[in-house]
Structure 1
Amino acid sequence: MKWRALEDDWCPVARTLSLVGDRWTLLILRDCFLGQTRFEAFARSTGATRHIIADRLKRLVTAGLLEQKAYQQRPVRYDYVLTERGKELAPALETFRDWGRTHLPIRRSAKPNATE
């Protein structure tokens, strides 16, 4: 089943996933909660292609989770700011963060010994 097909699903979890259920969208939202607002910052932080970032930002603006605010006119460039609707996702992202800290701790590989 395609993501867009979930938009009209009876299940609210499925409908929510149709909007925010891919890694790039969640990472953009994470960055917004951390205070990032600019396209280039999202691209650097997430590692997603420019096309993906543009697509996800457009979708989040259309859904009313982010608002565009022009900060430059020639060429027009925007800050992307969480709306109240977008801010309501904070508990969900905090739950992901907390679960990840508990169950998926960072595993740093041991540094090789210089004498080996």
Structure 2
Amino acid sequence: MKWSDLSDNWCPVARTLSIVGDRWTLLILRDCFLGMSRFEQFIESSGMTRHILADRLKRLVESGILERKAYSTSPKRYDYVLTDKGQELAPALLTLRDWGKKHMPVRRATSA
């Protein structure tokens, strides 16, 4: 089953996952909540390829989660900012963060 097939599913979780249900999209949203808004910032923070980032940003803009705002006309450059709809995802991201802190702590090697 393709992600896009979930957009018509009866389950609201499945429909939501059709938009935000992959790691790259969640990392973009994380970065937006941390104050990032520019293409290069997302690349540097996440390590994803430019192609993947462009695809995910397009999907988030089309779904009304992010809005593109021009900050330069020559060359054309955009900020990607959370809409009100996007801001409503904050509790979900915070829950994922808190769960990760509790159940997947960073394991550091001990010094010998």
Is TM (by shorter chain) over 0.5? yes
Question: Paired residue for 1:52?
Answer: 52
Question: Paired residue for 1:87?
Answer: 87
Backbone CA RMSD of aligned residues: 0.7
In structure 2, distance between residues paired with 1:4 and 1:65:
17
| Greater C-alpha Rg | 1
Structure 1 segments of 4+ aligned residues over 2 angstroms from their partners: none
Deviation, 1:74, is 1.0
Count of matched residue pairs: 112
Deviation, 1:110, is 2.5
Report 1:1-116 matches (<5 A): 1-111=1-111, 113=112
Residue identity over aligned pairs, in percent, reads 70
Tell me the SS of whatever aligns to 2:59: helix
- Per-residue CA deviations over 1:71-90 (Å, capped at 9, x if unaligned) read 01111000000000000000
Task: Name stretches of at least 5 consecutive residues in structure 1 with no aligned partner.
Answer: none
* TM-score normalised by length of structure 2: 0.98
Deviation, 1:109, is 1.7
Specify the code of the residue in structure 1 equivalent to 2:34: L
Specify the code of the residue in structure 2 equivalent to 1:84: D
Task: Name stretches of at least 5 consecutive residues in structure 2 with no aligned partner.
Answer: none
Specify the code of the residue in structure 1 equivalent to 2:54: A
In structure 2, distance between residues paired with 1:75 and 1:57:
19
* TM-score normalised by length of structure 1: 0.94
